[in-house]
Amino acid sequence: PFSTLGWPESTAELKTFYPTSVLVTGFDIIFFWVARMIMMGIKFMDDVPFHEVYIHGLIRDQDGQKMSKSKGNVLDPLDLIDGTDLESLVVKRTTGLMQPQMKPKIEEATRKHFPDGIPEFGTDALRFTFGALASNGRDIRFDLNRIEGYRNFCNKLWNAARYVLLNVEDKQLADDATAHQSLPDRWIRSRLGETIQEVTEHFAHYRLDLATKALYEFTWNEYCDWYLELSKPILADTNNEAEQAATRTTLATVLEALLRCLHPIVPFITEEIWQRVAPFTGRVSDDTSIMLQPYPEPADFPRDETAEAELGWIQHFVLGIRQIRGEMDIAPGKPLNVFLQDANDEDLRLLGVHQRYLTKLARLENVSVLPTGEEPPPSATALLGSMKIYVPMAGLIDVAAERARLTKNRDRVSNGLKRVEGKLANEKFCANAPAAVIEKERQKCATMQQEIKQIDEQLTRLDSLS
């Protein structure tokens, strides 16, 4: 590397950039390139050219094959970013081949794997994908389904920003971000601080996969799926303007810090959103870029274990109701009456203080507490610690129609299971099929067995309603 910096002259560039901090490289050229760079650096500069080497795996195609021009399985990153039609992709993959006789085979494979060409995914989705795939393994198997999932993540972030801006633009914000905070405000700030700590540690150890995983889970699961939904009953309550102002401030403050966390991985969408959100947090001035902002510190968002415990109770309550809805095929928006039994003093306190969140997120019409020992009506049941949550089934579903639907579904799954089990019992199949195919059939078998078990449990619940 010193040869590009003016060596053997003692240039400013050489003094600035030699030695550098880290080299990023694949494992297949460690001796051919990395070791020789080190030896040459010691020989001519009396110092190594870098102090750390980040060794990543090789990107392989969907079949696990190494990408190469001769195989015609190379994917141009620009095609993933901007998209391309099938015919253009075929031309690109079959032009200038070192082995022209491979052209028909390459064209056939391309038309098979990309029948509609490649859709436009964008730069940020591609960057996030490679960050998520950068594990400690030697191989990175690339799959378009992964990049599509991270494009959805970018869309989720964009829609979250739209919600925040809709609720903070031309609205009153709190001067003190910590005053009049609701439980969800305290919880999301605590979770953000924990996420910043986790991501910072992963970056320090070059675990880009774990860093992106932590950011994905916080953004999608905690900020979007929980906090934004929990903020809605607060912002709809016009009787508490101070709490509303605190929630608006938290919406903007947490999003702004989250954008700075995400920026090294998805720089373009975070810059675009940050320019609009940052003014509400007092961070932006003329010609300021998110790229020039400091990375968030965990100390900016201290841990609040009490808030995390109380919000965790709400989450388990809501998830219990949602699980019952899913298992019994009850419409998500249908209001429910709920009975509680064996609730302790803390359960009752949390129910009284946070019932507005439960009513909104679980779509509850009424919550009643049953005395210990009293027989509940025929119900589906969820457990929260020692407390039982009953959802009476009477009037919610047509028992006969639901039993017929479940029985038909069970027969379908059972027939599929018999076919898979027959295939796995075939010695000829197991002896000749690739290991990956056999493993896929075993996973399919396990999934079907679990599905039948769940259907049987639902049928048992229906019997109690007859």
Q: Where are the domains of the chain?
A: 3-56, 140-303, 307-392, 399-464
Q: Is the pLDDT of residue 113 over 70?
A: yes
Q: What distance in Å separates the CA atoms of residue 285 and residue 210, rounded to the nearest whole number?
A: 33
What is the model's pLDDT at position 286? 64
CB of 18 within 8 A of CB of 42? no
* Span 74-105, pLDDT tens digits: 888 999 999 999 999 998 888 887 788 888 88
Q: What distance in Å separates the CA atoms of residue 465 and residue 187, rounded to the nearest whole number?
A: 40
* Span 180-200, pLDDT tens digits: 899 999 999 999 999 999 999
Q: What distance in Å separates the CA atoms of residue 171 and residue 50, rounded to the nearest whole number?
A: 51
Block residue for tokens 């491979």: 102
Chain-centroid distance, C-alpha 201: 19
DSSP secondary structure letters along 79-120:
HHHH-B-HHHHHHHHHSS-SSGGGHHHHHHHHHHH-TT-B--
What is the model's pLDDT at position 466? 63
Does residue 41 sit in helix, strand or coil?
helix
Q: Which residue has the higher pLDDT, 140 or 161?
A: 161
Q: How far is CA 226 from CA 22, 255, 360, 458, in A?
A: 39, 14, 12, 28
- Across 307-334, average pLDDT: 92
The token pair at 317 is 């309550």
Q: What distance in Å separates the CA atoms of residue 428 and residue 267, rounded to the nearest whole number?
A: 53
Q: What distance in Å separates the CA atoms of residue 342 and residue 386, rounded to the nearest whole number?
A: 6
| Long-range contacts, stretch 208-211, CB < 8 angstroms, 24+ apart | 208/131, 208/132, 208/134, 208/265, 209/131, 209/132, 209/133, 209/134, 209/135, 211/131, 211/265
> In CATH, what number does 399-464 get?
1.10.287
Domain spanning 140-303: CATH 1.10.10.10: no
Pairing of strands 379-384, 387-392: antiparallel
Q: Residue 293's pLDDT band (boundaries 50, 70, 90)?
A: very high
In sequence order, which residues have a C-beta less than 8 Å from that of residue 394 and are 6 or more positions away?
377, 378, 465
φ, ψ for residue 177 (rounded to 5)? -65, -20
The whole-model pTM stands at 0.82
> In CATH, what number does 307-392 get?
3.30.2320
For residue 368, the number of C-alpha atoms closer than 13 Å in the C-beta half-sphere is 13
CB of 407 within 8 A of CB of 379? no
Cα-trace Rg, the chain: 28
Element (H, E) at 252: helix 241-262
CB neighbours (10 Å) of residue 84?
20
Can 140-303 and 307-392 be said to share one CATH topology? Answer: no
* Span 412-432, pLDDT tens digits: 999 999 999 999 999 889 998
